[in-house]
């Protein structure tokens, strides 16, 4: 009887799913991702103003980014596991509301300690939100549209990095850094209303269906996706964090701002390609992305090359990187099935470890053997990434989806 009831409920859920993408709901998730990335990265472009406003050094102001990442890192897994039984939309609204509170406090606070506490809260909200977004998008659509739905929900990430952060830096110089965080608070309140109006609600996972964290980690394919995420994002952040000295050592005639612009614009192309092809070619896209990044590293590492080659390599890198968040989140969502949210929280943790590790390892390489060590280290990481994705043929990165 229970099996029959569950089967009927499953069929009812599938029948309720739309035959095409529910764009208003998915775009609301994309805006949530946009605000999350913008909240995280904006202080990096406003360090002098924030330092002056809080009467601290730029180095201390830079810790507003660090403590945000720390909040995400320590909160993602335990908070996601603890909230598995909650209905999804109230939980999503709660995570988004955390940004409204944190950014409002940041906008008005004159205390460095209070501002750091607000940034930690924003990081905790981010850890929970990133664990929710991909699984939420996947639940809105039938199996054949899951990858495309996740791609739409993730489009806020490259938009925030390529357009939002530079615009926020410019706006901060014009109207002040506090006004920027105030504007984000207003945007967040508007997003809450949007979510309540357009995003469907889903039940939490019944206690009888929840797997322990260790069991989720050992599901076939989950560890492969986590390793691919860790190695790829680690390579990316080593290069992205130290791109300025890397180009300087290569005697590149290219301007750093234009190189990053080429990367950002190309990343939008990458996520568009991913969105179109991911539901059938997730495995091929992952392998191709890794190869493109490796080729870009080799081109950027060829000292004394022309500016055109540098810009071209940055664009290739951007195309490869633009869709990886969607690729990895789709892979882990499909691999983990009903435990997708918990698996996503593990992916968020791996991603944040890679971000922190990129800064540390890149710094050690820079101060030790020097920039010349970057290409072989990055190529080794990407080779391991490619081999892990290639080997995960049965689970993790299967052919045709």
pLDDT tens profile 163-173: 777 777 778 77
Tell me, rounded to whole angstroms, the distance of Cα 280 from its chain centroid: 22
Cα gap 273→62, rounded to integer Å: 34
User: pLDDT tens-digit profile of 297-332?
Assistant: 998 887 656 788 888 999 999 999 988 988 998 899
Higher pLDDT, 336 or 244: 336
Instruction: Please check the confidence at residue 119 and state whether its pLDDT lies above 90.
Output: yes
pLDDT bin (cut points 50, 70, 90) of residue 6 is very low
Please state, in angstroms and as integers, the Cα–Cα distance from residue 163 to each residue in 186, 187, 262, following that order.
19, 16, 12
Q: Output the six-digit token pair for 59.
A: 């180095």
Predicted local distance difference test score (pLDDT) of residue 15? 46
Instruction: Please check the confidence at residue 354 and state whether its pLDDT lies above 70.
Output: yes
User: pLDDT tens-digit profile of 223-245?
Assistant: 999 999 999 999 998 888 788 77
Predicted local distance difference test score (pLDDT) of residue 304? 59
Compute and round to an integer the Cα radius of gyration of the chain: 21
pTM: 0.80
**159: number of Cβ within 10 Å:** 21
Predicted local distance difference test score (pLDDT) of residue 252? 59
Q: Report all structural domains of the chain as residue ranges with CATH numbers, in order of start.
A: 20-206 (1.20.1250.20), 213-391 (1.20.1250.20)
Element (H, E) at 88: helix 88-108
pLDDT bin (cut points 50, 70, 90) of residue 7 is very low
Tell me what percent of the residues of the chain surpass a pLDDT of 70: 92
Cα gap 4→203, rounded to integer Å: 20
Instruction: Please check the confidence at residue 98 and state whether its pLDDT lies above 50.
Output: yes
Tell me what percent of the residues of the chain surpass a pLDDT of 90: 42
Element (H, E) at 370: none
């Amino acid at each position: 009887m229970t099996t029959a009831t569950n089967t009927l409920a499953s069929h009812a859920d599938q029948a309720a799913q739309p035959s095409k993408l529910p764009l208003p709901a998915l775009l609301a998730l994309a805006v949530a991702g946009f605000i999350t990335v913008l909240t995280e990265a904006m202080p990096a472009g406003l360090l002098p103003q924030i330092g002056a406003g809080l009467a601290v050094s730029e180095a201390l102001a830079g810790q507003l980014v660090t403590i945000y990442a720390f909040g995400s890192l320590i909160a993602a897994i335990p908070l996601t596991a603890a909230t598995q039984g909650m209905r999804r939309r109230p939980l999503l609204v709660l995570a988004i509301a955390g940004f409204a509170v944190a950014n409002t406090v940041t906008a008005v606070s004159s205390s460095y300690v209070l501002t750091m506490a607000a940034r930690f809260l924003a990081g905790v909200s981010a850890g929970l939100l990133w664990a929710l977004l991909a699984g939420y998008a996947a639940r809105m659509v039938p199996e054949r549209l899951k990858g495309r739905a996740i791609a739409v929900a993730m489009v806020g990430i490259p938009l925030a990095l390529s357009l939002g952060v530079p615009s926020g830096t410019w706006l901060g110089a014009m109207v002040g850094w506090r006004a920027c965080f105030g504007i984000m608070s207003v945007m967040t309140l508007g997003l809450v209303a949007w979510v309540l109006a357009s995003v469907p609600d889903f039940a939490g996972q019944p206690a009888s269906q929840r797997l322990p964290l260790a069991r989720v980690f050992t599901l076939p394919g989950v560890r492969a996706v986590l390793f691919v995420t860790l190695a790829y994002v680690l390579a990316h952040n080593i290069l992205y964090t130290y791109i300025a000295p890397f180009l300087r050592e290569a005697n590149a005639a290219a301007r750093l701002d234009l190189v990053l612009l080429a990367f950002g614009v190309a990343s939008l192309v990458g996520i568009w390609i991913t969105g179109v092809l991911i539901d059938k070619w997730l495995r091929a896209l992952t392998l191709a992305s890794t190869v493109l990044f490796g080729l870009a590293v080799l081109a950027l590492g060829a000292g004394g090359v022309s500016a055109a080659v540098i810009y071209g390599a940055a664009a290739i890198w951007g195309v490869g990187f633009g869709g990886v968040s969607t690729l990895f989140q789709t892979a882990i969502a499909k691999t983990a099935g009903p435990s997708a949210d918990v698996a996503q929280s593990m992916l968020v943790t791996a991603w944040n470890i890679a971000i922190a590790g990129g800064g540390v390892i890149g710094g050690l390489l820079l101060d030790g053997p020097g920039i010349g060590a970057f290409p072989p280290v990055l190529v080794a990481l990407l080779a391991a990434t490619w081999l892990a994705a290639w080997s995960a043929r049965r689970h993790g990165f299967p052919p045709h989806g």
